[in-house]
């Protein structure tokens, strides 16, 4: 008789500098592979983990969710401790909870939020996790005017990595705003889904608006173009964090 498998959600964070993104790939270190190898050692059998989405090489995650199925019996607190003992300091497991077998880490996420950090003052403690801009500071007011044009449901092909194989490039952005902080500015953006490289492409293009390299009218044209070559360069990966993922009723499993 086959033993029934149960589904578990893992919440984690990671420093993406040491990885070529979340997703397992040939000849490159990934967050997914690193956690799979650790949990497979503990369970003493191969265990696959499915994440809430891809992150680019070098991108970080403050809060990331993944799920796995297993028939193994364990205490979640003990598994968190064991995983953190095996994994190096680039990955931290926050919690593990049992969920309904139908809840999917990728397909059931209703909202994803990213933050991008831009630094205006040279700070050695923040530079590894920020895009440092020296000299002329971008105009935050202009960037916010352009960011408001992103709101709603649109085809965002102009900010999608060339060669992506998505079935659709339509996303619904519900929030996009730049905010000043002590050492620079932070861009926060939320949507139901994001395309490959989309947040970095949007950020880089908005920074060009702030530096007067692209006008608001040109930004409108870019949005309508569905052409990646019309938009600005992607902002460096090190300033980007996957900040929050929202699921229906996930708190009920805590």
| Residues near 99 by beta carbon (within 8 Å), at least 6 away in sequence | 7, 8, 9, 67, 250, 253
Are 143 and 178 spatial neighbours (Cβ–Cβ below 8 Å)? yes
How many CB atoms neighbour CB 98 within 10 A?
11
Measured distance CA(92)–CA(104) in Å, rounded? 21
Which residue from 16, 10, 62 is spatially nearest to 39, judged by alpha carbons?
10
CA-CA distances (angstroms) from residue 92 to 96, 166, 169, 198?
12, 30, 32, 26
Q: What burial class does residue 89 get, using C-beta atoms within 10 Å of its C-beta: 0-12 exposed, 13-18 middle, 19+ buried?
A: exposed
Q: Which two tokens stand for residue 2?
A: 């086959």
**How many Å separate Cα 175 from the centre of its chain?**
15
Measured distance CA(201)–CA(222) in Å, rounded? 12
Catalytic residues: 56
Measured distance CA(252)–CA(254) in Å, rounded? 6
How many CB atoms neighbour CB 244 within 10 A?
16
Residue 156 DSSP one-character state: -
């Amino acid at each position: 008789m086959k033993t029934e498998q149960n589904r578990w959600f893992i919440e984690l964070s990671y420093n993406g500098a040491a990885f070529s993104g979340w997703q397992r790939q040939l000849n490159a270190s990934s967050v997914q592979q690193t956690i799979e190898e650790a949990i497979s050692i503990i369970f003493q059998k191969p265990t696959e983990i499915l994440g809430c989405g891809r992150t680019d090489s070098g991108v970080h995650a403050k809060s990331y969710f993944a799920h796995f199925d297993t028939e193994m019996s364990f205490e979640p607190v003990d598994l968190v401790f064991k995983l953190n003992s095996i994994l190096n300091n680039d990955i931290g497991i926050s919690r593990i909870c049992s969920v309904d077998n139908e809840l999917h880490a990728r397909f059931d996420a209703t909202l994803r939020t990213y933050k991008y950090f831009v630094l205006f003052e040279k700070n050695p403690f923040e530079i590894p996790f920020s895009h440092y801009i020296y000299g002329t500071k971008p105009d935050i007011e202009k960037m916010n005017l352009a960011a408001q044009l992103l709101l709603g449901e649109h085809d965002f092909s102009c900010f999608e990595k060339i060669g992506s194989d998505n079935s659709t490039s339509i996303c619904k952005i519900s929030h996009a705003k730049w905010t000043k902080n002590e050492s620079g500015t932070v861009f926060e953006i939320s949507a139901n889904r994001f395309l490959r490289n989309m947040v970095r492409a949007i950020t880089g293009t908005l920074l060009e608006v702030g530096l007067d390299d692209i006008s608001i009218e040109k930004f409108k044209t870019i949005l309508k173009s569905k052409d990646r070559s019309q938009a600005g360069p992607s902002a460096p990966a090190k300033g980007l964090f996957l900040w929050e993922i929202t699921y229906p009723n996930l708190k009920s499993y805590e």
